[in-house]
Chains A and B, each alone.
Chain A
């Protein structure tokens, strides 16, 4: 009996103090995904990876915006969004205190602007995404055969224009170019 009591006192109290004291979780605990909208390029990789459709993107062409939103009520804390995000804008935190009385508080949103196509002027892709891709390609492209500074800058300008063109206009431009080439070949024959 004494031995048992001694053992009980040695073991102490197993019950956690939470909620009167903070509860320590493992540092890689998968809690609430934290989205840093400043780092997000609205590429929608996370929204297509999310198995529960907790993340969604909505495009409003009239307002020229694209809205990223997360519903913490639907999230299953799988961290696939974190895995795919190219700019590390989303990361799971150790925050587990998510209970709410008002369902609307489970949603968090970020509104991004769409860039207009340089040809037709219609909004087509998030401006931040285009800027990021342009910067990435510019930092990685060699001279592409261009040697003089003027050639280089015209090449960069052409590339920037191409990236700011919407897919429909790209197709139309391609068709025009093909038509021109065919026309020239016709003449040369």
Chain B
């Protein structure tokens, strides 16, 4: 009896997902990624993340596979091998698209030799974004693929509300001073920590009261356990006192 209509496959897939009483074997198909994704897949099967405790095992042949893991943006050269691997895997199979490249083509999406994602050549069941996805993200993706966890992300559309406006940050401080502090903090600590540090510093400046700058900074530093951040607060204070600011 032949059983390969889409409805049959869907039914078999559902029964595979609900009645899987054995290990899920994974075959990994590299369709032309940068290898970052492969490294993360292999760190997912290390003892620290140990996917074999759930019976998820990487196998060497698509003929043994229940789950096909496609990484990479599907280059022209890898399209046929990827399709052959897909055809070689027995039905029912679950196709997982791994990494930003697998989901949409990622950073390579507009290259001349790239098809732009696994779903351009085979039907995909689960997308795991990330560049590369971290091992926990990979485990989560497998849990979604096997129906153990619910997906959390949903499509969202925000429509601008009536009279929705954005106010300036720290309107009570002179604009030049705010920009100067933000720039200096970013210069010293990078954009992420710099922004956090600048926010704390500017927040300290806006505390109402007549306290002089020295005492304000001293109060801020006394609460800061990290000597590097304390040093940056001090230097920010110095740049303000330097008088190079015409605010």
Q: Chain A contact residues: over half helix, strand or loop, or mixed?
A: loop
Q: How far is the CB of B98 from chain A (nearest CB, A)?
A: 10
A103 and B143 CA atoms in complex are apart in Å by 17
Asked, given contacts A99-B151, A100-B127, A113-B160, whether A19 binds B140 with beta carbons under 8 Å apart, the answer is yes
Interface size classification for chain A: 35 or more
Which of B153, B161, B175 contacts A140, CB < 8 Å? B175
Contacts of A97 in B (CB 8 A): 136-137, 140, 152-153
**Chain B interface: which of A66-74, A166-174, A175-183?**
A66-74
Asked, given contacts A52-B106, A53-B110, whether A87 binds B153 with beta carbons under 8 Å apart, the answer is no
Q: Are B154 and A105 in contact (CB under 8 A)?
A: yes
Say if the beta carbon of B203 comes within 8 Å of chain A.
no
A40 and B161 CA atoms in complex are apart in Å by 12
Q: Mark contacts of B118-150 with chain A using CB atoms, 8 A cut-off: 1 yes-contact digit, 0 otherwise.
A: 010000111111110110110111011100110
Q: How far is the CB of B191 from chain A (nearest CB, A)?
A: 4
Say if the beta carbon of A98 comes within 8 Å of chain B.
yes
B116 — nearest CB in chain A belongs to which residue? A74
Q: Are B47 and A98 in contact (CB under 8 A)?
A: no
Q: Mark contacts of B35-71 with chain A using CB atoms, 8 A cut-off: 1 yes-contact digit, 0 otherwise.
A: 0000000000001111001000000000000000000
A-B complex: 5 closest residue pairs judged by Cβ atoms: A73-B103, A99-B141, A76-B131, A37-B158, A110-B158
Q: Are A15 and B127 in contact (CB under 8 A)?
A: no
Q: Are B137 and A99 in contact (CB under 8 A)?
A: yes
B194 — nearest CB in chain A belongs to which residue? A83
Contacts of A106 in B (CB 8 A): 103-104, 127, 129, 153, 155
Contacts of B137 in A (CB 8 A): 96-99
Asked, given contacts A15-B50, A19-B140, A105-B153, whether A74 binds B103 with beta carbons under 8 Å apart, the answer is yes
